[in-house]
Amino acid sequence: MNVPEYMHPHVQQLLSIETEAAINAGRISFLLRVSVFRDGDKWCALYGKSLQEGVAGFGDSPEEAVAEFNKAWITSRP
């Protein structure tokens, strides 16, 4: 993204606002474009390279996995 230097602080602020809104709306998984896939008999929503390094949520359906991911993302933030 080619942003003029004088706008950088404003762009960063806007990204922070958008991220916070997505978290509050339960759509951080959409913003981060998490991977959703079958893992055994459950569905997994994963952000990161692996379960050990990333944040994940599991459920009986893709929707449940994403909802659990959203909860995990909020609780994993410092």
Helices (H), the chain: 8-24, 28-32, 62-76
Please state whether the predicted TM-score (pTM) of the whole model is above 0.75. Answer: no
Sheet holding 42-47, edge to edge: 35-39, 42-47, 55-59
Q: Is 6 or 14 the better-scoring residue by pLDDT?
A: 14
Please give the backbone phi and psi of residue 47, each rounded to the nearest 5 degrees, phi first. Answer: -120, 115
Q: Which two tokens stand for residue 32?
A: 């981060």
CA distance 78 to 76: 6
Name residue 36's beta-bridge partners: 45
Query: pLDDT for 14-59, tens place per residue?
Result: 888 877 776 666 677 877 889 999 999 999 999 999 999 999 999 9
